[in-house]
Structure 1
Amino acid sequence: MSAFLNAREAAAELNVSRATLYAYVSRGLIRSEPAENGRHRLYRADDVRNLRARKSPTAEGRKDADTTFLESAITLIDDGHLYYRGRDAIQLATVATLESVAGLLWQCGERNPFDQDYPSPPAIPDIPSPYARMQALLAAAAPDDMKALNLRPWGVAGSGARVLRLLVSSIVRGTPNSEPIHSQLAKAWGVSPEAADVIRTALVLSADHKLNVSAFTVRCVASARATPYAAVEAGLTALQGPRHGGQTARVAALFDEAAELGDGAVAARLQRGEVLPGIGQFLYPDGDPRYGALIDALDRNGFDNEARRMAESLAAAAMDLTETAPNVDFGLATVQRTIGLPAIAPLSIFAIGRCVGWIAHAQEQYENPDLIRPRARYVGESPQTAHAI
């Protein structure tokens, strides 16, 4: 029996589409490697059969499937490439605005969900944390937006546009308006048009990344038929964790250490047994293409200074010692230091960009009649006869 299967054979064994097969690979459930001709990939037969066994019916006639598997047509990661609805995300990032990517991910066609009137944001207390301020603003605005109760695709797109503009207003401390998001951020942060183009690129690259923890959280909330406001609030809660969007703050701390220790900051971390933040992304064994796209944006706009050289030297030291490449978190921190953005910028860019993907996931989930309810496998004590506790 062969140790490997081609894509057609693997998909047939699992009784799934090739897109679903690729999703299993991207989540690390099936290992793959290039074929000898280099034009195709082969899939580990034992991984395929183990996964098939997990999905097979139980003795009670029910599927013992991992119910956290969700089919999606939004984002694909395949063979080191990132695609938004079939379009190469890296290529889009060179020219597209976040608004145009939103139209693509929200399947708006020729209609523009941003072509609407925006109410003034509600008054909220002055909250330093950008995440907490975004959440407070959404919670305050949601009760007055009755249109958000329309959970049909176009209704969700319209709500998504209002939510996105509201999040931007929380960062720029202004009123929602129709100016391109990257331009609003650049003006609020006092940087040049060239820096605005780098911000635009970063927003597009942050838009979606398959079924990560925040996207799954959003889909769970949407499956309960809560509004897009609630779904995005939940996504923000997940995003701020140090193992997700909070990684950028950990990269910033590494940069601060490097200001004192130079490249030795990498070895110092490793000697303490610590994981290097912003280094490695298991979905991209050969390196996160989003990092490279951010560096290309700096090149395209003529940014070459000491801050960038320090960051790239640190990345090279990490690759030398770990044989692992930087990811988008490292790239966002590099952009922030290079073009002189405020410390909150990486988190803000990531959250605003990712909101577009969250709305797409919510929109897709609203069209699914099922409530997401993963099954728990009980591993506690066996039932006992009644006795005093």
Structure 2
Amino acid sequence: MTHHSSHGTGTRGAGSGSAPDTPRLTTREAAGRLGVKPETVYAYVSRGQLTSRRAPGGRGSTFDAAEVDALARRTGRRDPSPSAPGELVFRTGITLIEPDRYFFRGVDAAELARLHTFEEVAEWIWTGELRPGIRFEAAPEALAAARRTAAALPRHSSSTDRLRAAVAAAAAADPLRFDLSPQGVLNSARTLLPTLVGALPSAGEASSTVPSAGEASSTVPSASSPGGEADAGDSLARRLWPKLSDRPADAASLAVLDTALGLLADHDLAASTLAARVAASTHAHPYAVVSAGLGALEGPLHGAASGAAHRMLSEAVGRGGAAPVVAEHLRAGRRVPGLGHRLYTGEDPRAGVLFALLDEIPQAAPAMAAARDVVATTARHTPLHANVDLALAALSVTCGMPAEAGETVFAVSRTAGWIAHAMEEYAERPLRMRPSGQYTGPRPPQPLPSPSRAAPPGTGPAK
């Protein structure tokens, strides 16, 4: 399959580069082509989905016919539902989500992730170019700093804790981190991803020892030879595998992990991506952008959701069926994890791809049977479909990975998307995200507060 960099215009103004003699439409004509009211046309303008120009003589507005037609084609599939006046709009050419599928720069994302490595998918969403066989390598000094910092955390620290520490250390080791030119950001991104993977301890490895300051990057274990030197030819999926599982990586299971990384690389303006764009709007460097994304990702309703699905699926496998597990969730008033997605009317397309790959792996049969039983059992109560968290859980349960493995995969993968959105945001007007708060406190003027009569800290009651 060959893709070309002509994809990727996304929803950016389709008529911005049109020739001067391109026919222009009146507001009423544009509304007719779109099948909406004239007021809705102006809502599209306020949202950034259409560009308008004052008509000669200043009476009314005109619109580029090609841009209107392009919007009509898009709204024929999914109505953008124009925003309310004043709502902030993010024009993006990275991901388009439809009711049953999604696209990276105009290309079917599920197909792209299934046929190409995570690194190739990352390059595609960053640059709109497909580079077969590309590999990313960490800068030795940054990798050593990231490993030392991540290893210094307490043993109970999560993988996301270690990733956040690794990002901060890698930033401190990169004197060029403030270079926000497209090439500068790409250079940082291509080294940051393998740094994050390399900073994680191997599965089951105790983090009680901290590498010395002069320890070389050769101490980084690789997926192909645990404990040995990293192989520059290894994919990021292969390097990540031993961080998630102490079982050998067979080709089929490794392909599922690599595909999962590609599928999760971006998903439009999820909460963590919005946080990343807010950081980028201040012209924070790419490492700070990724740190912002990681902070939002750790919420139990976002990246950490797959952990709950893993625990539920493990219990269902152990108990020989999903019915008692689902019943306990419903009786406790808890939602059943791994089901439903607000953007898809049916099954999450990311889950569909991963389930199809897992069906080809014999040892995945128990987890897959439990996953399908969860869906079928819950359907008797409410018609919900599987989402990607359930698919990640099926992968992690099958391969003997810990419950947080899905979150780790999510964090490493979505770093690519955060970088792509940062590159877009750097090209926008800086500091454009300044909403106004709706104050609900006491109305001023209020009297100055009286000094507290509380006992000083550490003072106990009189004996």
Q: TM-score range, shorter-chain basis?
A: 0.7 to 0.9
1:105 equivalent to 2:133? Answer no
Match of 1:346 in 2: 406
Does the Cα contact within 8 Å between 1:288 and 1:327 map onto a contact in 2?
Answer: yes
Match of 2:91 in 1: 71
Aligned residues: 352
- What's the offset of the Cα at 1:73? 0.9
SS of the counterpart of 1:77?
A: strand
Does the Cα contact within 8 Å between 2:139 and 2:191 map onto a contact in 1?
Answer: yes
* Separation in structure 2 between the aligned mates of residue 71 and residue 289 of structure 1, nearest angstrom: 23
* Separation in structure 2 between the aligned mates of residue 252 and residue 115 of structure 1, nearest angstrom: 30
* Separation in structure 2 between the aligned mates of residue 13 and residue 386 of structure 1, nearest angstrom: 43
Q: Deviations for 1:265-320, whole angstroms, at most 9, x for unmatched residues?
A: 11221222211222100100122111111101113455542232122212221233
- What's the offset of the Cα at 1:386? 5.3
SS of the counterpart of 1:109?
A: coil
Q: Deviations for 1:166-216, whole angstroms, at most 9, x for unmatched residues?
A: 111123552675521112123553321111001011111110111011001
SS of the counterpart of 1:297?
A: helix
By relative contact order (CA 8 Å, sep 6+), the higher-ranking structure is 1
Residues 338 and 147 of structure 1: CA distance in aligned 2, closer, same or farther (over 3 Å) = same
User: Which residue identity lines up with residue 142 of structure 1 in the other structure?
Assistant: A
Match of 2:391 in 1: 331
Match of 2:284 in 1: 226
Instruction: Return the structure number with greater helix share.
Output: 1
User: Which residue identity lines up with residue 41 of structure 2 in the other structure?
Assistant: A
1:250 equivalent to 2:311? Answer no
1:170 equivalent to 2:191? Answer no
State the structure with more CA Rg: 2
* Separation in structure 1 between the aligned mates of residue 403 and residue 441 of structure 2, nearest angstrom: 48
- Of 173, 176, 201, which aligns to 1:147? 176
Match of 1:134 in 2: 163
Match of 1:29 in 2: none
1:121 equivalent to 2:144? Answer yes
Does the Cα contact within 8 Å between 2:113 and 2:121 map onto a contact in 1?
Answer: no
* Separation in structure 2 between the aligned mates of residue 95 and residue 302 of structure 1, nearest angstrom: 22
- What's the offset of the Cα at 1:225? 1.3
Match of 1:195 in 2: 253
What is the percent sequence identity of the aligned residues?
31
User: Which residue identity lines up with residue 133 of structure 1 in the other structure?
Assistant: R
The TM-score normalised by the length of structure 1 is 0.81
Residues 361 and 250 of structure 1: CA distance in aligned 2, closer, same or farther (over 3 Å) = same
Instruction: List, as ranges, runs of 4+ consecutive aligned residues in structure 1 with deviation greater than 6 Å.
Output: 110-113
Does the Cα contact within 8 Å between 2:177 and 2:286 map onto a contact in 1?
Answer: yes
Does the Cα contact within 8 Å between 2:306 and 2:404 map onto a contact in 1?
Answer: no
SS of the counterpart of 1:147?
A: coil
Residues 325 and 310 of structure 1: CA distance in aligned 2, closer, same or farther (over 3 Å) = same
* Separation in structure 2 between the aligned mates of residue 145 and residue 6 of structure 1, nearest angstrom: 54
- What's the offset of the Cα at 1:86? 0.8
The TM-score normalised by the length of structure 2 is 0.69
* Separation in structure 2 between the aligned mates of residue 239 and residue 6 of structure 1, nearest angstrom: 42
Match of 1:182 in 2: 237
Match of 2:214 in 1: none
Residues 335 and 379 of structure 1: CA distance in aligned 2, closer, same or farther (over 3 Å) = same
User: Which residue identity lines up with residue 295 of structure 2 in the other structure?
Assistant: T
1:9 equivalent to 2:30? Answer no
RMSD between aligned residues: 2.9
Residues 309 and 240 of structure 1: CA distance in aligned 2, closer, same or farther (over 3 Å) = same
Match of 1:35 in 2: none
* Separation in structure 1 between the aligned mates of residue 410 and residue 309 of structure 2, nearest angstrom: 14
- Of 87, 94, 111, which aligns to 2:114? 94
- The runs of 5 or more residues in structure 1 that have no matched partner are 22-38, 56-64
Does the Cα contact within 8 Å between 2:340 and 2:387 map onto a contact in 1?
Answer: yes
Residues 322 and 374 of structure 1: CA distance in aligned 2, closer, same or farther (over 3 Å) = farther
Residues 187 and 274 of structure 1: CA distance in aligned 2, closer, same or farther (over 3 Å) = closer
- The runs of 5 or more residues in structure 2 that have no matched partner are 1-30, 51-74, 203-219, 222-229, 450-463
Residues 18 and 217 of structure 1: CA distance in aligned 2, closer, same or farther (over 3 Å) = closer
Does the Cα contact within 8 Å between 1:113 and 1:158 map onto a contact in 2?
Answer: no
SS of the counterpart of 1:82?
A: strand
* Separation in structure 2 between the aligned mates of residue 42 and residue 364 of structure 1, nearest angstrom: 23
* Separation in structure 1 between the aligned mates of residue 78 and residue 428 of structure 2, nearest angstrom: 32
Residues 184 and 71 of structure 1: CA distance in aligned 2, closer, same or farther (over 3 Å) = same
User: Which residue identity lines up with residue 375 of structure 1 in the other structure?
Assistant: P
SS of the counterpart of 2:102?
A: strand
- What's the offset of the Cα at 1:255? 2.3
Does the Cα contact within 8 Å between 1:198 and 1:301 map onto a contact in 2?
Answer: no
SS of the counterpart of 1:368?
A: coil
* Separation in structure 2 between the aligned mates of residue 359 and residue 9 of structure 1, nearest angstrom: 37
SS of the counterpart of 2:127?
A: coil
SS of the counterpart of 2:412?
A: helix
* Separation in structure 2 between the aligned mates of residue 19 and residue 293 of structure 1, nearest angstrom: 33
* Separation in structure 2 between the aligned mates of residue 7 and residue 326 of structure 1, nearest angstrom: 37
